[in-house]
């Protein structure tokens, strides 16, 4: 069973970013390329653990890597997040409508309090 979960994680962007430490790696990589040792240190994890997360992120197209002297640098490839962005964007109208209803409720509440 764990084998199937691993396959899904490594083949799907949504599953890959469901893991909080992988999202943390992506946030760190927004600032620029970093070696695995620096990522591991900043996230308080082992270098092998960080390497495993980076491999998953690379396999789904969210991270690229390149050799720089004796070390390998990892960088964000945000193009891989396009599908996630498009999918979440479909909920924008829902959130906007919810906030509009909340704003109308608050305005009504304030007006009622002023009238009392």
Q: What is the CATH number of the domain that holds 10?
A: 1.10.10.10
Residues 89 and 108 in one domain: yes
Residues 55 and 4 in one domain: yes
Question: What is the pLDDT at residue 32?
Answer: 95
Residues 68 and 104 in one domain: no
Q: Which residue has the tokens 């992506």?
A: 26
Helix (H) or strand (E) holding 49: helix 47-59
Query: 72 CB contacts (<8 Å, ≥6 apart)?
Result: 35, 36, 65, 66
Domain that holds residue 71: 1-76
Residues 37 and 69 in one domain: yes
How many residues are present in the chain?
116
- Whether the full predicted model's pTM is greater than 0.85, yes or no, is no
pLDDT digits (tens, 9 = 90+) for 47-67: 999 999 999 999 999 999 999
Residues 87 and 67 in one domain: no
């Amino acid at each position: 069973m764990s084998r199937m979960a691993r396959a899904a994680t490594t083949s799907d962007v949504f599953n890959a970013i469901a893991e909080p430490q992988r999202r943390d790696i992506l946030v760190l990589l927004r600032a620029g390329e970093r070696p695995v040792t620096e990522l591991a240190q900043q996230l308080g994890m082992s270098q092998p653990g960080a390497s495993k997360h980076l491999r998953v992120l690379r396999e789904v197209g969210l991270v690229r890597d390149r050799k720089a002297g004796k070390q390998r640098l990892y960088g964000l490839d945000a193009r891989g997040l396009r599908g996630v962005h498009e999918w979440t964007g479909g909920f924008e109208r829902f959130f906007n409508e919810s906030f509009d209803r909340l704003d109308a409720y608050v305005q009504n509440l304030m007006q009622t309090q002023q009238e009392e």
